């Protein structure tokens, strides 16, 4: 007697992706958890655990699909080019923050986060987010036949920005979308996880210190 369900049949949508399967997976993995957080179905205090859960699921899917390290941007061959491209993004952002430092444009009346948060943000949160929204997402889009540059960049940036709506701050969401467009554009040209993680960590830290992303802590 044949079993009612076979593991192979359950895993076939994962191992043989298509644009439709990708969109379903994108919603379930990237958008549904955010909706649950915003709606209150999942407590806001669980946000980091939710992010960690999404990361673990993405690692499992990467394993099941047999992604090579290079497909996920884990490489050193283009590290210099990636760091240079990201530095060219960091410099004008830093200059903008310095120009606005003496104005009320960026100021938000809130206590700065504790030092330990910055270690977490730089060493864990930024690389983890970049793996999800650049490394894994781009690999999934390529495997699913979504190869148009504009589509890849917009999907990556929009999903990255949607994650940040949990902070209920329009400016933060808009800023992360704009930053996401640049991160995604750089990653598509120079797919390197270390490069975009470095840029994300630096710019995010500057944004938090400047007061425009205090809610993220």
Q: Answer whether residue 9 is part of any domain.
A: no
pTM of the model: 0.88
Secondary structure letter of residue 215 according to DSSP:
G
pLDDT tens, position by position, 85-118: 999 999 999 998 888 766 665 555 556 677 788 8
The whole-number average pLDDT for the span 131-140 is 98
Q: Within a domain: residue 1?
A: no
pLDDT in tens, 10-54: 455 555 678 999 999 999 999 999 999 999 999 999 999 999 999
Place of tokens 């190869």: 147
The boundaries of the domain holding residue 163 are 15-216
- Residue 107: inside a domain: yes
pLDDT over 70 at 216, yes or no:
no
Q: How high is the pLDDT of residue 65? A: 94
DSSP-based three-state secondary structure for 165 = helix
Residue 8 lies in a domain: no
The contacts of residue 140 (CB under 8 Å, 6+ apart) are 17, 22, 25, 26, 61
Q: Considering its fold, how many domains does the chain have in total?
A: 1
Q: Say what the pLDDT of residue 14 is.
A: 55
Which tens digits make up the pLDDT trace of 177-209?
999 999 999 999 999 999 999 999 999 998 888
């Amino acid at each position: 007697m044949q079993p009612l369900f076979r593991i192979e049949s359950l895993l076939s949508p994962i191992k043989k992706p298509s644009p439709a399967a990708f969109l379903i997976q994108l919603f379930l993995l990237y958008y549904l958890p955010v909706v649950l957080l915003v709606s209150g179905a999942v407590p806001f205090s669980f946000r980091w655990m939710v992010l960690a859960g999404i990361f673990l699921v993405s690692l499992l899917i990467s394993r099941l699909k047999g992604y090579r390290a290079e497909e996920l941007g884990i490489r050193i061959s283009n590290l210099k080019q990636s760091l240079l491209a990201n530095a060219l993004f960091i410099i004008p952002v830093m200059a903008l923050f310095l120009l606005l430092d003496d104005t009320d444009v960026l100021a938000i009346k809130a206590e700065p986060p504790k030092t330990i948060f910055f270690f977490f943000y730089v060493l864990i949160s930024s690389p983890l987010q970049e793996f999800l929204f650049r490394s894994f997402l781009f690999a999934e889009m390529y495997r699913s036949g979504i190869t148009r540059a504009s589509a890849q960049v917009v999907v990556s940036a929009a999903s990255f920005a949607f994650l940040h709506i949990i902070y209920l701050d329009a400016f933060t969401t808009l800023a992360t979308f704009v930053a996401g467009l640049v991160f995604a554009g750089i990653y598509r040209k120079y797919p390197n996880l270390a490069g975009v993680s470095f840029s994300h960590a630096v710019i995010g830290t500057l944004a938090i210190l400047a007061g425009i992303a205090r809610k993220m802590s």
